[in-house]
A = this chain, B = another copy of it.
């Protein structure tokens, strides 16, 4: 793969500059890979950054396959989108997944299940549509979040807990950490931020996931990243939003 490339071009990430969002799955992968990258929209517009850089890429007509939405990774001539697809690309290039075909396909399978969970989290605060403000769909959001915390979240986290057990642990795919572990960490962190009570009620039954989350946080590169200004704090514009009225009540 890219075997003929001798001078390695740097990675450029195109993602919204003020949120973690789906871009955070890519950022965590780049950080654990130790790969130099430019988070371009966080640069000033005068330096070619800002959200203008994202819109320019989305509107460019040069690529044979265009991205639908950020996050988008540019690497040399390759412009790649869809979060799981980008994480898999980086993971495969940087030793963050086994190098057999089944290992790679199974990692993507797990990553796509995490993406499904993340999409369901998004819809807790946007059940009617992403084109409306949360305040315009609060009634529906309460109903959907209730169902999510009661049925969907236990199902997803129970599945991942069992997966750590099946694979022999302590990581999702056995004894070596993969890019999928980084993404699961991000979801667990985000859930704890968004639903302090609702998430805790579920993770009380998933000790392996709690241990995995702590293990990811302690990886030296991840730990350094989390302590750096590159890590944007959670906020109410991203995927994981803390609206106390949606969480379980005391």
Q: Which residues from chain A sit less than 8 Å from chain B, CB to CB?
A: 1-2, 61, 63-68, 78, 80-82, 84-85, 89, 101-102, 105-106, 108-110, 112-113, 116, 119, 123, 127-132, 140, 143-144, 147-148, 151-152, 156, 159, 162-163, 166-168, 173-174
Contacts and interface: CB of A to CB of B under 8 A. Distances in A.
The 7 closest A-B pairs by CB, nearest first: A129-B147, A65-B106, A82-B112, A82-B109, A68-B113, A131-B151, A1-B101
A143 B130 CA distance: 12
Contacts of A81: 109, 113
Residue of A63, A105, A108 with most partner-chain B CB within 10 A: A105
B147 A101 contact: no
Contacts of A82: 108-109, 112-113
A123 B137 CA distance: 15
A1 B65 CA distance: 25
